[in-house]
């Protein structure tokens, strides 16, 4: 059985830079679609503000997660 090593550092960095905003944007689109479905086609201002806050919180959490994973992988 062949075991492959970790991806090269430049690939890890590219993944860490591009995945969090793409993942957060996909989450935002899905939550916006769900809100439109539940609220009858229009999203209230309160929901828009909440979704905006949740988007940024999710983005920061995923960036932090990637940063910690990269540090752990390189210190191990």
User: Which of 14-28, 34-48, 62-76 is predicted least confidently?
Assistant: 62-76
4 or 2: which carries more pLDDT confidence?
4
* % of the chain residues with pLDDT over 90: 57
CB 34 within 8 A of CB 15: no
The rounded distance, in Å, linking the Cα atoms of 49 and 1 is 51
Tokens of 61: 């959490």
The rounded distance, in Å, linking the Cα atoms of 59 and 65 is 10
Give residue-wise pLDDT tens across range 27-55: 999 999 999 999 988 889 999 999 999 99
The candidate with the shortest Cα–Cα distance to 56, out of 29, 25, 16, is 25
Tokens of 71: 């540090």
42 or 7: which carries more pLDDT confidence?
42
């Amino acid at each position: 059985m062949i075991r492959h090593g970790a991806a090269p550092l430049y690939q890890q960095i590219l993944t860490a830079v591009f995945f969090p905003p793409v993942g957060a944007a996909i989450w935002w689109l899905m939550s916006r679609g769900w809100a439109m479905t539940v609220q009858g086609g229009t999203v209230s201002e309160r929901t828009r503000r909440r979704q905006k806050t949740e988007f940024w919180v999710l983005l920061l959490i995923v960036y932090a997660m990637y940063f910690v994973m990269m540090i752990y992988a390189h210190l191990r």
